Structure 1
Amino acid sequence: METGSVDGLLTYRRRCEGQTFERILVSDTGEVIINPVEPVNLPKDITNFLLMEFSPMVIEPGTSRTVYLKFPVEIGVFIESARDIEVLDVFGLGTQKYTLYGSPTTGIIARWYRSAVYPEIPAVEAFREGVMELSIHNASHEWVEVSTAVFESVDMKIYYDDLVASSATMKILSPNLAETDFIDAPLRPGMTKSVELYAARKVPVINRGYLMEWGY
């Protein structure tokens, strides 16, 4: 990835996974910003949902536990001026997989990613993986087995330094019902908050979380 002059024109060029992306930049004051973004944009806009599948956990009624998962990372490139910010490019390493959550008629398509469950922040492969801190609370009156969490990516808040991270919650309401949401806070002090794709695209967003109605 680079910016430079080609035939006297300021040009952004990126090579990743055998693909090249190039744009000519016409700007007097624009600044290029690069940061991790919500991982639901590749290979094209398909869904706003992220489905994390992980090692099954059996949780006692009334119990809370915080664990760590790995999630996929995508990188967003923005061009910002004093008046506006625009999405220039989104790229990532590896392949993307999608799955159906729910019934074939009323379910949703979601970006799928599988992770082990970690008691502490795990080591990750840079530019491919981030760490999700997931706080699970079983508010039901039954033991439950949990192996899936589905999130609405427009609510996702990403922070980074040498690690890409996000914090989320999952509240189990009944044997087949759970609420998920994201927390707008860094995993550790001093992390930088990413520019959100939905903010840059000027899409109105109301933080509302997601209600999992087809089990977990």
Structure 2
Amino acid sequence: MFGRYRGTFRRECGDILVEAESVDGLVTYRRRCAGQTFERILVSNTGEVVINPVEPVNLPKEITDFLLVEFSPMMIEPGASRTVYLKFPVEIGVFVESARDIEVLDVFAFGTQKYTLYGSPTNGVIARYYESAVYPEIPQVDPFREGVMELSIHNTCREWVEVSRVVFESTDMKIYYGDFVAATATMKLLTKTMAETDFVDAPLRPGMVKSIELYTARKIPAIDRGYLMEWGFS
């Protein structure tokens, strides 16, 4: 399903159908997922259709740039570091690309998206919410529904810290895909209530392909600034 396509094509996987077919001399892009459909006529001589996983903060509409993953509580020893694996939601982006430009054509996903407030009602942020178990190794996932996040946690405090959630700025997110969808992230615990989070621009396994990021297609300047969690993480 993920990849680059030129001209007409048809890809079907379970409840997902994505195709571009010629009808009366016009190429029509068509998508069906979980009973919902989307269709557009494409006028292009040299363009390609690109399908890849994207930052999971776009559905049912653009509400926020933040992603919050809640997981089983962990107690982190002072000075300790640990790498674990979480699951995160996958949304699928479809782009039309030519030599001069790239544009978002479609974004879709399975299931219902949940959102939550991180922080206070006056100063907090709305975030896409997802719940995951904690895994010591890469878990099995459905690549069209969930991705694997490698999260490296480092406790710089002189105290034990309990961690059960992590918040990210999604515009920093670097997604790769192959047999599964993946992202690599870091979390530095600064105090018992503050942490810095960020994404690492590297594949989880050799040979994975980097996804086109939505902010690139939307012409939003790329600023990798990470995120400062000021409202705790438990």
**TM-score, L = length of structure 1:** 0.99
- Residue by residue, what CA displacement relative to the aligned partner does 1:39-75 show, whole Å, maximum 9, x if unpaired? 1111110000000000000000000000000000011
Q: Does 1:89 align with 2:106?
A: yes
- Residue by residue, what CA displacement relative to the aligned partner does 1:82-121 show, whole Å, maximum 9, x if unpaired? 1111110000111100000000111000000000000000
Q: Shift in Å at residue 16 of structure 1?
A: 1.0
Q: Does 1:189 align with 2:189?
A: no
- Mapping of 1:113-192 within 5 angstroms? 113-192=130-209
Q: Which 5+ residue runs of structure 2 have no aligned equivalent? A: 1-17
In the alignment, is the contact (CA less than 8 A) between 2:66 and 2:170 conserved in 1?
yes
Coordinate RMSD, CA, aligned = 0.6
Q: Give 2:84's match in structure 1, choosing from 61, 67, 71.
A: 67
Query: Partners in 2 of 1:24 and 1:80 — Cα distance?
Result: 15
- Residue by residue, what CA displacement relative to the aligned partner does 1:153-203 show, whole Å, maximum 9, x if unpaired? 000000010110000000000011000000000001110000000011110
Query: Partners in 2 of 1:100 and 1:57 — Cα distance?
Result: 22
SS of 1:199 mapped into structure 2: helix
Q: Give 1:102's match in structure 2, choosing from 119, 123, 126.
A: 119
Q: How many residues align?
A: 216
**TM-score, L = length of structure 2:** 0.91
Q: Shift in Å at residue 18 of structure 1?
A: 1.4
After TM superposition, the runs of 4+ consecutive aligned structure 1 residues lying more than 6 A away are none
Residue of structure 1 equivalent to 2:97:
80
Higher relative contact order (CA 8 A, sep 6+): 1
Query: Partners in 2 of 1:112 and 1:209 — Cα distance?
Result: 18
SS of 2:130 mapped into structure 1: strand
Query: Partners in 1 of 2:58 and 2:116 — Cα distance?
Result: 15
Query: Partners in 2 of 1:17 and 1:202 — Cα distance?
Result: 30
The more displaced of 9-18 and 64-73 is: 9-18
Query: Partners in 2 of 1:211 and 1:193 — Cα distance?
Result: 25
Q: Shift in Å at residue 135 of structure 1?
A: 0.1
